[in-house]
């Protein structure tokens, strides 16, 4: 649409950029990594490392 005014293109770009940033921030901060077993495994390794098998 070359008949559109340049200010409209600027407003569209700003709106798209803000929407894109908000969408990415919501996805980034809503992600919760699932790692409950890591602490249990580390504790088990610590306990097992004390048992020497000669």
> Mind listing the pLDDT tens digit for each residue in 24-34?
999 888 877 77
Q: Write out the residue range of the structural domain in which residue 28 sits.
A: 6-49
Q: Does the predicted TM-score (pTM) go above 0.75?
A: no
Determine, yes or no, domain membership for 1: no
Q: How many domains does the chain have?
A: 1
Instruction: Calculate the dihedral angle through the C-alpha atoms of 38, 41, 45, 46, rounding to the nearest 10 degrees.
Output: 70
Q: How far apart are CA 35 and CA 47, in angstroms?
A: 20
At 44 the pLDDT is: 57
Determine, yes or no, domain membership for 22: yes
pLDDT at 16 over 90: yes
Determine, yes or no, domain membership for 37: yes
At 28 the pLDDT is: 87
pLDDT at 7 over 90: no
The two tokens of residue 54 are 């000669």
Determine, yes or no, domain membership for 19: yes
Determine, yes or no, domain membership for 45: yes
State the average pLDDT over residues 21-25: 94
Determine, yes or no, domain membership for 28: yes
């Amino acid at each position: 649409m070359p008949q559109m005014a340049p200010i409209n293109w600027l407003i569209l770009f700003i709106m798209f950029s803000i929407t894109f940033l908000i969408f990415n921030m919501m996805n980034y901060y809503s992600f919760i990594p699932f790692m409950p077993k890591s602490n249990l495994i580390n504790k088990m390794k610590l306990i097992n490392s004390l048992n020497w098998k000669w």
